[in-house]
């Protein structure tokens, strides 16, 4: 039955995910092809795939399978995998959560803005100027920052870009930003994964492809086209958590733009003028969910809201208020409960003199926790953060270490002073903006490489089977039991000749 088949596939997917995210476990089968076969059973025999999985686990537990191929996460399948032993070290970062504006991208004064053809006075470090945001801000990023992010991903570290920016702004900036494994917008409200032509399942291929901008030190693979697909599980949870569905209208990429396109260039977004959103946004009055009910309440008290291109949050900017509402804003910012009557199911964060509101289940910290859990990574011991401002504080405190290339506010400075072992400031006189970001990335890279070398040294000279067999025997036994539970209904579901 269809329902039973979907239940079986769900169990198999969870089994495969649990194996993949234990990154020290090696198997001699391809995880992504297994997932795609299971999702499309007409292409093969799922029972055979499952039996192969069980057999591989059994042989591995006895030390009979060489440690030649690693299960990898679907969002970093192209990157080098470290050895089983090096990844077991709790002090080696496995994932980086990085803010964008003020952390990777910096905003010099207009007179100091460098064009993308200039450099910072050092060899091979071009400074790229990004397109302006919806508010007219224009940032810069260095080639060394882009290369350093690439090098960390090559070492197997997952890179997640987490920003409060509008989704449309992210789409416009993608060619200038570091290639990442996950992109998060709207203060945690929307999560996207990159796709490429190598994906086995056509369903995950996005309608648009992005062409990274060339920079000093870029390699051929750094300039490959890629697309994006949204995490619909996360999206659905926020729709049900207060964001509703209407706010996404007008904030979706137009799938019709590529119909009839004769070449891929016709499907590229015009970054300077448009991001391919064809529909008119639904006004706040027409949006359902507790988030937009609260937005209407604030509008009723005279506040001017910024909802343009936001699907899961809205912003209240002090600069947009006038008259007595300015005083109300200051009270709102200070947390005065008599202003706005912020309901419990609505979360908020402050940034650059603005207040962002979103469902309480959203926010940077919650989205990062969701991603870490998805990958089986302990956020408290195996993650680091690069950040600069108030809306990053909860995310930073949830990570094992936080690097600060810039202090965006006095309150952020207070948090840094109260947690001296948690935060590492990489800026100083003569080392600021892009140079401070490069220093943060260098420190993270050193911790990754040194940690891996130290762990590998522990096992130098040990026989491969002596190390791997005993280490995984209990894990393989547990997985084999779970696999047997899955095989039983599969035998029943796929036993008839017709099937």
H/E stretch holding 364 reads: helix 364-375
Read off the pLDDT of each residue in 332-355 and give the average, rounded to a whole number. Answer: 80
CB 404 within 8 A of CB 423: yes
| pTM of the entire predicted model | 0.71
85 near 43, Cβ under 8 Å? no
78-95: pLDDT as tens digits: 444 433 323 334 468 999
Q: How confident is the model at residue 449 (pLDDT cuts 50, 70, 90)?
A: confident
pLDDT of residue 177: 96
The strand pairing partners of 96, in sequence order, are 159, 384
Q: pLDDT band for 74, please (50, 70, 90 cuts).
A: very low
- Give residue 313's pLDDT band: very low, low, confident or very high (50, 70, 90): very high
The whole-angstrom separation of Cα 180 and Cα 174 is 10
Q: What is the average pLDDT value for the chain, to the nearest integer? A: 75
Q: What confidence category does residue 266 fall into, taking pLDDT thresholds of 50, 70 and 90?
A: very low
Burial track 425-456 (b if 16+ CB lie within 10 A, e otherwise): bbbeeeeebbbbbbbbbeebbeebbebbeebe
Contact of 359 with 378, CB cutoff 8 Å: no
Element (H, E) at 149: helix 143-154
* 76 pLDDT tier (thresholds 50, 70, 90): very low
369 token code pair: 């926790």
Q: Confirm if 277 and 253 have CB atoms less than 8 A apart.
A: yes
Phi, psi of 52 (to 5 degrees): -60, -40
Q: pLDDT category, 206, cuts 50, 70, 90? A: very low
CB neighbour list of residue 289: distance below 8 Å, 6 or more residues apart: 239, 242, 243, 244, 247, 359
Q: Which of 445, 357, 415, 462 is nearest to 159 (CA)?
A: 445
Strands 354-359 and 346-351: antiparallel
Q: Is 203 left (phi over 0), alpha (psi -120 to 50) or beta?
A: alpha
* Cα–Cα distance measured from residue 89 to residue 94, given in angstroms and rounded to the nearest whole number: 10
| Strand ranges of the sheet holding 314-317, from the earlier edge strand across to the other edge | 314-317, 354-359, 346-351
Residue 3 has pLDDT above 90, yes or no: no
- Find the mean pLDDT for residues 393-397: 96
Candidate from 31-40, 115-124, 240-249, 458-467 with smallest mean pLDDT: 31-40
Burial class (CB in 10 A: 0-12, 13-18, 19+), 399: buried
Judge contact between 179 and 212, C-beta under 8 A: yes
Residue 67 in this model has a pLDDT that exceeds 60:
no
pLDDT value of residue 269: 40
pLDDT score at 136: 72
Q: Which residue has the tokens 């940034």?
A: 351
Residue 33 has pLDDT above 70, yes or no: no
> What are the tens digits of pLDDT across the range 98-157?
999 999 999 987 545 444 344 444 557 789 999 876 667 789 999 999 999 999 999 999
Query: Does the pLDDT of residue 487 top 60, yes or no?
Result: yes
Q: How far apart, in whole angstroms, are the C-alpha atoms of residue 200 and residue 206?
A: 13
42 vs 347, which has greater pLDDT? Answer: 347
CA-CA distance, 90 to 93, in Å (whole number)?
8
Q: For residues 164 and 158, is the Cβ–Cβ distance under 8 A?
A: no
Residue 304 confidence class, pLDDT cut points 50, 70, 90 = very high
How far is it, in rounded angstroms, from Cα 485 to Cα 10? Answer: 13
Name the residue with tokens 């100027």. 129
| Among the ranges given (194-203, 402-411, 463-472), the one the predictor scored with the smallest mean pLDDT | 463-472
Residue 384 has pLDDT above 70, yes or no: yes
């Amino acid at each position: 039955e269809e329902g039973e088949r979907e239940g079986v596939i769900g169990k198999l997917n969870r089994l495969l995910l649990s194996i993949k995210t234990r990154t020290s476990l090696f198997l001699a089968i391809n995880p992504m092809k297994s997932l795609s076969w299971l999702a499309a059973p007409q292409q093969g025999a799922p029972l055979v795939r499952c039996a192969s999985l069980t057999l591989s686990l059994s042989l591995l537990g006895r030390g009979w399978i060489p440690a030649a191929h690693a299960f990898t996460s679907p969002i970093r399948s192209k990157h080098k995998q470290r050895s089983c032993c090096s990844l077991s070290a709790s002090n080696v970062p496995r994932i980086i959560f990085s803010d964008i504006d003020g952390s990777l991208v910096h905003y010099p004064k207009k007179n100091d803005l460098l064009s993308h053809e200039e450099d910072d006075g050092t060899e091979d470090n071009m400074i790229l100027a990004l397109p302006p945001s919806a508010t007219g801000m224009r940032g810069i990023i260095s080639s060394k920052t882009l290369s350093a992010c690439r090098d960390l991903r090559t070492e197997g570290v997952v890179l997640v870009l987490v920003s409060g920016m509008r989704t449309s702004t992210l789409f416009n900036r993608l060619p200038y930003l570091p290639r990442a494994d996950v992109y998060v917008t709207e203060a945690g409200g929307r999560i996207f994964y990159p796709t490429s032509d190598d994906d086995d399942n056509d369903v995950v291929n996005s309608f648009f492809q992005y062409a990274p901008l060339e920079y000093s030190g870029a390699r051929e693979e750094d300039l490959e086209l890629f697309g994006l697909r949204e995490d619909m599980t996360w999206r659905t949870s926020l729709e049900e958590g207060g964001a509703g569905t209407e706010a996404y209208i007008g904030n979706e990429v137009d799938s019709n733009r590529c119909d009839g396109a004769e070449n891929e260039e016709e499907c590229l977004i015009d970054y300077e003028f448009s991001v391919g959103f064809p529909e008119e946004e639904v006004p706040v009055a027409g949006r359902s969910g507790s988030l937009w009910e609260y937005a209407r309440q604030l509008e009723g008290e005279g506040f001017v809201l910024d909802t343009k291109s936001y699907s899961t949050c809205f912003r209240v900017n002090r600069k947009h208020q006038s008259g007595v509402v300015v005083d109300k804003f200051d009270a709102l910012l200070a947390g005065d409960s008599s202003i706005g009557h912020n309901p419990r199911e609505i979360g908020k964060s402050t940034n650059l003199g603005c207040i962002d509101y979103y469902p309480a289940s959203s926010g940077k910290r919650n989205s990062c926790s969701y991603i870490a859990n998805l990958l089986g990574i302990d956020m408290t011991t195996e993650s680091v953060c690069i950040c600069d401002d108030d809306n990053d504080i909860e995310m930073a405190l949830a990570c094992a270490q936080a690097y600060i290339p810039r202090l965006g506010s006095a309150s952020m400075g207070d948090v840094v002073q109260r947690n001296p072992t948690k935060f590492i400031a990489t800026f100083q006189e003569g080392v600021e903006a892009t140079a401070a970001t490069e220093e943060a990335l260098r420190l993270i890279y050193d911790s990754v490489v040194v940690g891996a070398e130290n762990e590998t040294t522990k096992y130098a000279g040990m026989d491969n089977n002596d190390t791997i067999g005993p280490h995984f025997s209990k894990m393989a036994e547990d997985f084999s039991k779970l696999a047997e539970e899955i095989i039983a209904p599969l035998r029943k579901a796929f036993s008839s000749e017709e099937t």
